[in-house]
Structure 1
Amino acid sequence: MPIKQLTPMSEIDRYTEQELKRLQTVLIRSLQYCGEQVLNKARSTNSYKDQTGNLRSSLGYVVAVDGRVVYQSDFQTVKQGRDGSEKGAAFAKKLVRRFPHGVCLIVVAGMEYAAHVKNKGYDVLDSSELLADKIVPSMLKQLGFT
């Protein structure tokens, strides 16, 4: 006796699409949480003296889906660092173009001299990167994505 499909294929497709959207929402929110943790770590690091506030203001993150920003952190202005906030947000958006498929978290220090400060031995995003390397895989595993 053959198996007969009673559920219409359109109903199966609708359910599958709905479940994918739900999982994507869970993933985005979880990456936002990770982004906030990593950003807080970066902002609390006091290994360098930020004279203008631009470098610290350029710290932030975005969550992107298929090359489009779906969430952006505040790129909080520190001291007179408005230029840093603008450059950080612009740099993060520029990096999103490198990831046209999938969901990603991008954390940046958007000032052009951030690498120079890092190369002098100061912690701009180093400890934050270590934190991200720890919590993102753990979160993905906990959610069942790996």
Structure 2
Amino acid sequence: MDYTAMSAQPLRRQTLVLVTDQFQCERMIKAGRAIAGITHTQLRVFHICAEGRTSDPAALQYLYNSAKENGSVLEIAYNSDFMGAITETLESTNTVNVITGQPGDEDSVLYTLWSRFPGIKFFTADADGRLDMVSTVRVAE
């Protein structure tokens, strides 16, 4: 097999959904599917679990099933450095959209993520799954 020809192909544009191990993250997967459809991108669902931390297996199975139903798979990375893991993922893929939940407080890592990748469109999903595009004004607050 000629791997040289394969590596020369451009990466497909992606919409990445960042989930925690909570059942309600299904709303973000569905919202991500909608954005992926509108932007003609591949949907990826990604969970970063801190090394040594136990995730809720029932919630992860539920999110795996939801990802599958929405044309994706649930990818799980074990890394204690959330920002490092997500930075590596975003820098090594052709991600153009990212869907997250809403930041919990002023110190949320999401603000750093949004400012670090100005070329990516970030969306937050509220409890009902409604999306808001993150604006530069919001990042600067």
- Do both proteins adopt the same fold according to a TM-score greater than 0.5, normalized to the shorter chain? no
Higher strand share: 2
Considering only CA atoms, is the larger Rg found in Structure 1 or Structure 2?
Answer: 1
Q: Which has the higher helix share?
A: 1
